[in-house]
Amino acid sequence: MTPKPWKILASTYLRKNIRLDRCELPTGQVIEGTVLEFGDWVTVLALTKEQEVVLIRQYRHGAQKVIVEFPGGAMDTDDESPLTAARRELQEETGYTSDRIVQVGCVSPNPANHTNRIYSFLALDAEKNGGQRLDETEEIEVLLRPLDDVIAMAKRGELLQSMQVSTLFFTLAYLDRIS
């Protein structure tokens, strides 16, 4: 049996970006479900000329812990493209820039109830080119680690956020480090 889309009967906003949909399934059953309407995000795995990965460490309130991540964040309304957002986020959060940034993947963080996409980028030959330009709620420490150490971190579960792991996977595939 081929799955079919659900029919949306009604949508109600509970809060900004949080929608409650009343849907009819192909079987005729009616259910309600919450949809989170987030904008698209970008994540950047930046490699320096010395083949070190530029990482950030910051507090994440949902997890209620300080975690290690790749630079990235939500696209701004004035970002022309995901690539523009990737360049901006890399510079703002780390002070690093790169003239060689390529998109290596795109995924949905949770297609069951999120509307957004996450674009994964690889920045090659990243160089420190200034200071951080952090938002008022950000406190970010910049770290440099060899790529093999970052792979080991992922294997140990130290990259907590799933979009970080998918960006690492896309990068390793792009670099022909996995088959």
Q: What is the pLDDT of residues 27-60, one digit of tens each?
A: 999 999 999 999 999 999 999 999 999 999 999 9
For residues 13-29, give the mean pLDDT.
96
Decide if pLDDT at 179 tops 80: no
Go through the domains of the chain in sequence order and give each one's CATH number.
7-36 (no CATH), 41-174 (3.90.79.10)
For helices 162-174 and 147-155, angle between their N-to-C axes, nearest 10 degrees: 130
- The amino acid at residue 151 is I
Q: State pLDDT tens for residues 115-173.
A: 999 999 999 999 999 888 888 888 899 999 999 999 999 999 999 989 999 999 999 99
Burial 147-173 (b: 16+ CB within 10 A, else e): beebbebeeeeebebebbebbbbbbbe
DSSP 8-state symbol, 114: B
Residue 13's alpha-carbon distances to 19, 30, 91, 179, in angstroms, are: 4, 18, 35, 44
The span from the CA of 54 to the CA of 167, in Å, is 13
Asked if 111 contacts 162 with a C-beta cutoff of 8 angstroms, the reply is: no
Which residue in 32, 24, 31 sits closest to 6, CA to CA?
A: 24
Question: Which residue is associated with the tokens 């993947």?
Answer: 105
Q: pLDDT at position 131, please? A: 87
Per DSSP, the three-state class of 139 is coil
> Residue 134 has what pLDDT?
83
Tokens 């949508």 locate to: 11
pLDDT above 90 (res 1): no
